[in-house]
Chains A and B, each alone.
Chain A
Amino acid sequence: MLSTLATDALRRSQLYRRHMAMDATFTTLGDSVVVSHYASEDETKQAQHLGLADLSTLPRTGFKGLGTPDWALDLGIELPARPNRALLQSDGTLVARLSQSELLLASNLNGLSESIANATQAELAERVYSLPRSDSHSWLVLCGSQAAETLAKVCGVDLRPHKFADGEIAQTSIAKINGVIVRNDLGETLSYCIFSDSSSVEFLWDSLLDAMAEFEGAAVGIQALRDCR
């Protein structure tokens, strides 16, 4: 089997130019360049109210095939009980079960993930196939008390907190593009991870910022997400 392709070049987001235009300050995590914060250094309040962050450069990977659940268990990954549920691992890795036999792994906010490292280095068992999720999908985080209200402008699934619990997954259409929405709260702060086609990330970013405007939402860096946690 072909392993997930990697590069030793520093990863920079497809949204890099938009971040630059918004006066972003960057930070390097492993081989990833991530926005630390934008013009304001303290974006915690913004993130608690309504924030949008780009984590597309952070590590993630995916596996599918009938052998996947057993193989992942052998690696020490704790599996969500059913499809369309996600579970945070002890190392902070988010494991999203997209079907009976498909997993999406996303790193913690430090860009570190023992689970991902283990899985990418481990030999794939029979009927386990790797998926290049770092490249196929962008990763945005929409967070804050107004996040559900914002999503209601772009997505036809009821994602309000009392209807869509922490750890729930919706594979659906967001602003007319397909994506995976995982509710993954940051401490007390309501938060949704949105994984979507990487070539559409600029469109999605712009659409979300537009939808957020009426609620006074703004882009936030990873520092604010960590502070919420």
Chain B
Amino acid sequence: MKLLTCPLNGQRNITEFTYGGEYHPMPDHQQATSREWAEHVFFHDNSAGVVIEWWCHSASSYWFLAERNTISDQILRTFPADEIFRERIDFNPTPADQGERK
């Protein structure tokens, strides 16, 4: 069984974790073409090489990211999500939305 190092809890058996899928940035949900959006939702890069993945330490519900080499199955490093997500994300309301906002 593999080991995975949680940035908060340290090294644990991988059974303590939930896989959260490949990380890739969400395209602008209003501007993206249908195809781009479908690819975002349904396609995975599945590349041979280093990928970034979401992992959650189940016991503490802590989400973080891992760089893993899919060829060697080596986990190169793990890091907190705020390394990528540094600030608050907002979605631009369409003009019609203004009424709903207080």
Contacts and interface: CB of A to CB of B under 8 A. Distances in A.
- Are A and B close enough to touch in the complex, i.e. CB under 8 Å? yes
B58 interface: yes
A156 B10 CA distance: 13
B58 A83 contact: no
B74 interface: no
B3 to A, nearest CB: 10
A191 to B, nearest CB: 20
Interface of A: 83-84, 98-99, 156-157, 170-173, 178-180
B15 A171 contact: no
B8 A173 contact: no
A165 to B, nearest CB: 14
Contact of A170 (B9, B15, B58, B62): B9
A98 B60 contact: yes
Contacts of B57: 171
Q: How large is the interface on B (under 10, 10 to 19, 20 to 34, 35 or more residues)?
A: 10 to 19
Interface of B: 8-10, 12-13, 15-16, 57-60, 62
A99 B16 CA distance: 17
A178 B59 contact: yes
Contact of A156 (B8, B9, B16, B60): B16
Contacts of B58: 173, 178
Nearest to A176: B15
A156 B12 contact: yes
B8 A172 contact: no
Contacts of A99: 8, 60, 62
